[in-house]
Structure 1
């Protein structure tokens, strides 16, 4: 199915001479300049430049789309430790518990067919607004739930709205950020997952100590799941539309105003304004000249097939590296090492989420120094070592019937070490990496495909993890040790490095000399520009 509209071939042909001359002019200009040539010679720190401080502050609004996933998983962890929630819903286990964990995911599945079209046809801001509305409604329904079915339906509404807001958010960040800030700002997007997780962890810890017969102990955390979406709902239209979306839609004056205001501080004559307008316009025009855009484009060229592989493999790494155990079933993991106190479980959950938030934010600032591939390699190798030790200590601990407290503490230490490695490469880097490797016309579709692969992995985590942990306990960890080992090999041989290039220039890595060619086959973007 074509989600992007059809370009009239006759019209393209009739305008080809004019378009070709314009392209050649742009090519000559671009060949003489790189991004470094048009940056201010002696720039102030960004926090002392009013326009950059404003733009970077506005990033908070799309960032909040990432909090809901984190809040959801951490809240469910906390609720599982609450006797009030367990009693109200008749102690769900196995498939019943898995269905509640996956209720969010079922909603995402329902949203998946529409979100790419909404992003490409209506921009980046509107779907964030629509998703936020649904998230607030879902949180109210969840807090008002009178039975298992109502709670499940509310979680599906939350999942639908969550995906609707999530997909356009990293696109907006990547496409609107100041060029030299883009890598860090995009990497920071997914780190805010842990803000939602920490928020939920400590809320559930606090409400756990309410009356043992009060359902408000779980209703309050359920209602507060709408807090961050409500902030987005109020402020989303204070952010500008993505200039790349505006240029793609032919709204050049609006795009230029955004770049002038937020990248040049109001100076219409700043060299960076013409540079960005020319580079983005040329790249998008070349994509249009190649024809219509659909999901089938991922299969048409070698470069696009490589992009498709990365789009599918990265979310597998993000969700099937063992992190699903601690994200949704930490209570079961802690019980398996002898930590059975609900109060202690909730404290560990809260501390772990704050620890992850600090680490993820700190490590996001290394993406340009270490590189994307370097972070992926460090992350997968570190996870392999820590998860192997985690598995071995869990085995010994359970076989000795929890007689040695030091073994349980060792497992707990490995959980924290594992997350240090996970956060290094699989929290901030994935969205940055994928928004870079995808061309504009494939960007929304690619992030949407990433989400559906993530959803499939989460369904596995939601249904299989609790059943497998009940059935075979520590032996189940061996599955993830094997998966992580495969990830190390794949990253080493198949993941390219994308650092040091503008968003448009990364295409050269995948398409070589065919990257961004115009109607007559002339290259639009020069290689090695940044």
Structure 2
């Protein structure tokens, strides 16, 4: 047993990082079996479903609120909220997230990755029950704040756990699937609200049932999250080297204690974390300490802004306003379009995630932003013509719907799966929780804007508001082209070389390895 205050000398031997990618390929298990026929891979990859459910719950929320807005039962119960009153309900989750910002990274750094998922999911269950039981606007708003508070804690820890547990060659696809499962929740919420709509014009359970079901996936997480192992990188960060090695031996090497892959992973993880600890500054100010960290800070702010400020917020939370603007005002019709869009998004996003390792991250970001801009320009033109003709030409409305679906295709290609892969790759272990928190803060700032500006602007200027997003997406193309390096084909530790050079792993301290 290695004492927790000692550094395992055998693990921190020199690594030739000039050929680190070759080293990784050289120590991978030599097997012709597909992963699903290897018991340890099967258990590990299926276990990823538990943290995935944080994304599913998040997707359920947006689609559910979309569906509720298209239900006369919900509109009647809450007095048909519009403008800032409607925006407050959308931002209720955001208000809760803001309160969780100082807590979530502390929990991830001091309690691991599993406990934040557990406690965040438990709060989500409580929030869903209160949301279902809401008797007025204020109670519904408070319940959504509780959902946001718990949701942020779970969402910050979940992709970190996936990224840090995944087998090296599976990581990009597995993390890519994390955000794609957002659409599973969105699809379920869309069709649940469609089904409960027909319960009757005065049935409050038409909206209470979807509200209660928001707690189902968090309940599954509460019950099963501790079946997953803890992150080996977190364990190393806490000097629990023996425990970290056991996780890697069991889930990456199938129980082989002498696996060269485990030796290689332990060496890289320990060396990178110990180097980071020696060079570490105080708190969040470390992001301003080096050129590499400033570059990381730019990326972790730019990525969430792109994810939320590319016009997708209109579709996610205010699809009924878009459909109203092109003359499609029937409740069942809007619910069917919302449901069909979520099915399309789920299928497309899962298919596209498999291309991530083949195409690379940067290329997908560029493909996505250029495609979204093209769709938004056409969408804007069709909406303008449709309004000028008094919504009498149904083909123009159909054209807008087609552009919405095409836009979602391009959005999924680059801004659904790749962002979480990219952000967890560019952040070193000791900054990953803080960096993820900065990402969530940036995302929340944009979501607050979306929550209040989108419904007000759509009511005031209708299709002309789309021009704003055309300009924003054009700026995003430039940001990706000039500021996003490729990280494809590297381990989490090796990506540090792209930003910090050889300083990422430091040099052996004077006095020999025994002083490390």
> Shorter-chain TM-score: what band?
over 0.9
Which residue of structure 1 aligns with residue 128 of structure 2?
139
Which residue of structure 2 aligns with residue 299 of structure 1?
288
Structure 2: how far apart are the matches of 1:31 and 1:479?
A: 46
* 3-state DSSP of counterpart to 1:133: helix
Structure 2: how far apart are the matches of 1:480 and 1:312?
A: 18
Which residue of structure 2 aligns with residue 178 of structure 1?
167
Could you give the per-residue CA deviations for residues 256-292 of structure 1, whole angstroms, max 9, x where no partner exists? 1111110111111121111111111111111111135
Structure 2: how far apart are the matches of 1:197 and 1:24?
A: 46
Which residue of structure 2 aligns with residue 376 of structure 1?
365
The answer to whether 1:342 aligns with 2:302 is no
Aligned-pair distance for 1:519? 5.8
Distance 1:260 1:43, change over 3 A: farther
Could you give the per-residue CA deviations for residues 320-379 of structure 1, whole angstroms, max 9, x where no partner exists? 000000100000101111111100100000010010011111111111110000000000
Q: Is the 8 A contact 1:293 1:442 kept in 2?
A: no
* 3-state DSSP of counterpart to 1:265: coil
Which residue of structure 1 aligns with residue 342 of structure 2?
353
Distance 1:256 1:414, change over 3 A: same
Q: Given the two structures, how large is their TM-score scaled by the length of structure 1?
A: 0.93
From 270, 273, 276, give the equivalent of 2:262: 273
Which residue of structure 2 aligns with residue 487 of structure 1?
476
* 1:48-67 alignment, distance < 5 Å: 48-67=37-56
Q: Is the 8 A contact 2:131 2:140 kept in 1?
A: yes
Q: What are structure 2's unaligned runs of at least 5 residues?
A: none
Could you give the per-residue CA deviations for residues 422-471 of structure 1, whole angstroms, max 9, x where no partner exists? 00000000000000000111111111111111111111111000000000
Which residue of structure 2 aligns with residue 203 of structure 1?
192
Which residue of structure 2 aligns with residue 528 of structure 1?
none
From 232, 244, 248, give the equivalent of 1:255: 244
Aligned pair count reads 507
Which residue of structure 2 aligns with residue 125 of structure 1?
114
Distance 1:358 1:294, change over 3 A: same
From 171, 175, 182, give the equivalent of 1:193: 182
Structure 2: how far apart are the matches of 1:309 and 1:31?
A: 28
* 3-state DSSP of counterpart to 2:294: helix
From 442, 445, 449, give the equivalent of 1:456: 445
Q: Is the 8 A contact 2:190 2:338 kept in 1?
A: yes
Aligned-pair distance for 1:293? 4.7
Q: Is the 8 A contact 1:289 1:518 kept in 2?
A: no
Aligned-pair distance for 1:521? 9.2
Aligned-pair distance for 1:520? 4.0
* 3-state DSSP of counterpart to 2:230: coil
* 3-state DSSP of counterpart to 2:453: helix
Could you give the per-residue CA deviations for residues 149-184 of structure 1, whole angstroms, max 9, x where no partner exists? 000000000000100100011100010001110111
The answer to whether 1:419 aligns with 2:425 is no
Which residue of structure 2 aligns with residue 438 of structure 1?
427
* 3-state DSSP of counterpart to 1:113: coil
Aligned-pair distance for 1:249? 0.5
Q: Is the 8 A contact 1:286 1:519 kept in 2?
A: no
Distance 1:29 1:398, change over 3 A: closer
Q: Is the 8 A contact 1:289 1:519 kept in 2?
A: no
Distance 1:333 1:43, change over 3 A: same
Which residue of structure 2 aligns with residue 285 of structure 1?
274
Structure 2: how far apart are the matches of 1:55 and 1:203?
A: 31
Q: Is the 8 A contact 2:275 2:504 kept in 1?
A: no
From 322, 327, 331, give the equivalent of 2:320: 331
Structure 1: how far apart are the matches of 2:331 and 2:401?
A: 16
Structure 1: how far apart are the matches of 2:277 and 2:98?
A: 30
Structure 1: how far apart are the matches of 2:181 and 2:457?
A: 30
